[in-house]
Amino acid sequence: MKYFLYIMVIIAILVTAGCSLQTTTHFSGEGDNWIVKYTANGETADYEIQYTGEEPVPENINYIIDTFSVTGRELSENGYVQNEHRGNEVDENDEEINVTIEWNGESEIFNLTQE
If one compares 59 and 87, the residue with the highest pLDDT of the two is 59
Kindly tell me if the per-residue pLDDT of 3 is higher than 80.
Answer: no
pTM: 0.78
> Residue 75 in contact with residue 60, Cβ under 8 Å?
yes
Angstrom distance (rounded) from CA 48 to CA 80: 7
Angstrom distance (rounded) from CA 39 to CA 84: 9
Beta bridge partners of 19: none
If one compares 92 and 109, the residue with the highest pLDDT of the two is 109
Query: Does domain 24-114 correspond to CATH entry 2.60.40?
Result: yes
Nearest CA among 47, 46, 45 for reference residue 36: 47
Question: Mean of the per-residue pLDDT values for the chain?
Answer: 85
pLDDT, mean of residues 22-49: 91
> Residue 35 in contact with residue 50, Cβ under 8 Å?
yes
User: What is the residue extent of each domain of the chain?
Assistant: 24-114
pLDDT, mean of residues 68-83: 94
Angstrom distance (rounded) from CA 80 to CA 83: 10
Kindly tell me if the per-residue pLDDT of 76 is higher than 70.
Answer: yes
